[in-house]
Amino acid sequence: MNHESFGYRIAATMSADVLVCGGGIAGTMAAVAAARCGASVMLVERYGFLGGNATAGAVAQFNSWQTANGRRVVAGLADEVVTRLGRYGGAGEHASFVMSTGHRMDRVEYAPEVLKLVLDDMLREAAVRPLLHASVLDVGVSGRRIDRVHVLTKSGVVELHAQVLIDASGDMDALDRAGAAFLELDEGEALQPATMMFRFGPIDFAQLDALPKAELAALARRGYEEGRLARAALHVSRDPFSNDGWFNISRLGIDATDAMALGAAEIEGRRQAWNAAQYLRQCVPGCESGQLRAFGTQVGVRETRRVVGDHVLSAEELLRPAQFPDAIAAGAYPIDIHPAAGGELRYEGLGDDHAYQIPYRCLIPVGFDNALVVGRGVSATHSAHAAIRVMTISMAVGQAAGTAAAMAARSDLPVNLRAVPVPALRARLLEDGAKLA
């Protein structure tokens, strides 16, 4: 049949209780959580695999599971991901490290390719229906409800219907097509830059690790000042299967919702990665025998659209920290702002036992009753976003959103996500192993 209002043919129509647009780490956790709570779930993803920045972006480490003194603030499905990675031999242990800023943090290093298998397993076991190689084309809205989503696939345009939409696309593509409101940058702010991760090896990590932090920082500064490194950093995550490492060195100041700019950044990112690899080989102890082995499938994007939610989380609330009766996730990652240009970053550390909360209201976009947001598009100021954007926290928020969506979809009344009983939501999250403070 022809869809007259849009001017193209609909190849198929599908429906589910919950539709997740975007199969990054947050969207996958949302889909799994909703399905485990009894909802029928469809997951739309533009690639042929899941994980987003965790796989395509090859970030290769899950940072900041706990406060500086060791109190865990992220668990639940995020913990399960690490456990499953371990069964494949694809993750290291939780370990502490000192950042270039001098702050101590904990992380789990993992193999991005193995994470693809883990996420496949979790979706299959939860009976989530994945629709891969599919991109959001347009969205139909009736009043305060999103009532259909059209996605472009190899089979043509597919029309999807769901009681609840979770936008996990990173750039908030579904909500953008629906006409949602987004937060503006304040004067003097710029979108955080993207990064092209690259794999380099083999590395003599014993020699590299033996370098004093001051010497490593000086090497990074020298590389930046000579124009060989795009930023004054030599950040690396170890590959669990080899003596290779994934490096986070490039800096690409773009708006990744601009298709031309995004493509140009991919090209420039590979150039920056190549230059950085030559610097590692020629100047950094332990890297003399290494070579560039792979680029990330895509640039890792830190920030684009942030939705206007029922509550806009602020940096002041994180630093206080504010206590929220509708808290559905917690975090301890500091405010970490990468400027669009220059070699430095703004890093605002937290106290030894400092953790903050993320309220459910930040997941609900104003103007819609049946939509939620997870991932980097959550309702937060530029500075607050710089803390809560990391993948550990995104997994926790994804679990909460999926749980709430399933609870709302079970109601006999028209879905209203604001009517989800928060005490029951919090109780279910705690039952499922999540941390809320």
- Which residues have CB under 8 Å from 167's CB, separation 6+? 21, 22, 173, 174, 175, 307, 371, 372, 373, 374, 377
Give the strand pairing for 145-153 and 346-348.
Answer: unpaired
Do 334 and 238 lie in a common domain? no
The dihedral region occupied by 41, where left means phi > 0, alpha psi between -120 and 50, and beta the remainder, is: beta
Both tokens of 135, joined, read 């991109």
The DSSP line for 180-218 is: --BPPPPTT--PPPBB--EEEE---HHHHHHS-HHHHHH
In a domain, 436, yes or no: no
C-alpha separations of 322 from 42, 209, 317 in Å: 35, 38, 5
Q: Which residue has the tokens 């993320």?
A: 358
What pLDDT score was predicted for residue 421?
97
In a domain, 29, yes or no: yes
User: Of 265, 295, 325, which residue is a domain's last?
Assistant: 295
DSSP E strands in 1-103: the ranges are: 2-3, 8-21, 41-44, 61-63, 95-98
Nearest of 71, 21, 67 to residue 41 by alpha carbon: 21
| Closest by CA position to 203, among listed 172, 237, 180 | 237
Q: Which residues pair with 98 in a beta bridge?
A: 104
Residue (of 202, 194, 192, 193) closest to 277 by Cα position = 202
DSSP state, 419? G
Q: Which of 295, 328, 344 finishes a domain?
A: 295
Strands 156-167 and 145-153: antiparallel
Nearest to 409 by CA among 167, 173, 165, 174: 165
Same domain, 207 and 277: yes
pLDDT at residue number 343: 57
- As a whole number of angstroms, the distance between CA 408 and CA 401 comes to 10
CA distance 374 to 389: 10
Alpha carbons 192 and 219: distance in angstroms, whole number: 24
CB 370 within 8 A of CB 417: yes
SS (H, E, C) 290-348: CEEEEECCCCECCCCCCECECCCECHHHHHCCCCCCCEEEEECCCEEECCCCCCCCEEE
**Six-digit token string for 241:** 């299967």
Query: Would residue 335 count as lying in a domain?
Result: yes
- Please indicate, yes or no, whether residues 178 and 314 belong to a single structural domain of this protein: yes
Residues 219 and 265 in one domain: yes
Structural domains of the chain, count? 2
* Whether 165 and 254 share a structural domain: no
In terms of DSSP bridges, do strands 346-348 and 335-337 run parallel, antiparallel, or are they unpaired? antiparallel
Do both 51 and 173 map to the same domain? yes
pLDDT in tens, the chain (437 residues): 334 456 789 999 999 999 999 999 999 999 999 999 999 999 999 999 999 999 999 999 999 999 999 999 999 999 999 999 999 999 999 988 766 566 678 999 999 999 999 999 999 999 999 999 999 999 999 999 999 999 999 999 999 999 999 999 999 999 999 999 999 999 889 999 999 999 999 999 999 999 998 999 999 999 999 999 999 999 999 999 999 999 999 999 999 999 999 999 999 999 999 999 999 999 999 999 999 999 999 999 999 999 999 999 999 999 999 999 999 999 999 998 887 776 566 777 788 899 999 999 999 999 999 999 999 999 999 999 999 999 999 999 999 999 999 999 987 778 999 999 999 999 999 999 999 99
Statement to judge: residues 141 and 216 lie in one domain: no
Q: With respect to residue 354, please indicate whether it lies within any of the assigned structural domains.
A: yes
pLDDT at 410: 86
Q: Which residue, of 276, 295, 314, is where some domain finishes?
A: 295
The span from the CA of 271 to the CA of 258, in Å, is: 20
pLDDT score recorded for residue 105? 83
The dihedrals phi and psi of 38, each to the nearest 5 degrees, come to 100, 0
Same domain, 33 and 126: yes
Residues 244, 203: Cα–Cα separation, whole Å: 6
Buried/exposed code over 160-179 (b: 16+ C-beta within 10 A; e: otherwise): bbbbbbbbbbbbbbbbbbbe
3-state helix, strand, coil in the chain (%, to 5): 30, 25, 40
> From CA 369, how far away is CA 145, in angstroms rounded?
6
Residues 6+ apart with CB under 8 A from 107: 61, 62, 63, 64, 65, 94, 95, 97, 237
Q: Are residues 285 and 316 in the same domain?
A: no
pTM of structure: 0.95
Residues 279 and 427 in one domain: no
| Domain span holding position 236 | 198-295
DSSP code of residue 382: H
Domain for residue 229, yes or no?
A: yes
Domain of 409: which CATH number? 3.50.50.60
Question: Are 144 and 62 within one domain?
Answer: yes
Q: Is residue 211 part of a domain?
A: yes
Contacts of 234 by beta carbon, 8 Å cutoff, 6+ apart: 100, 216, 219, 220, 223, 247, 249, 280, 284
Let me know if residue 193 belongs to a domain.
no
Tell me 76's DSSP state: T
Q: Is residue 437 part of a domain?
A: no
Asked if residue 230 and residue 343 are part of one domain, the reply reads: no
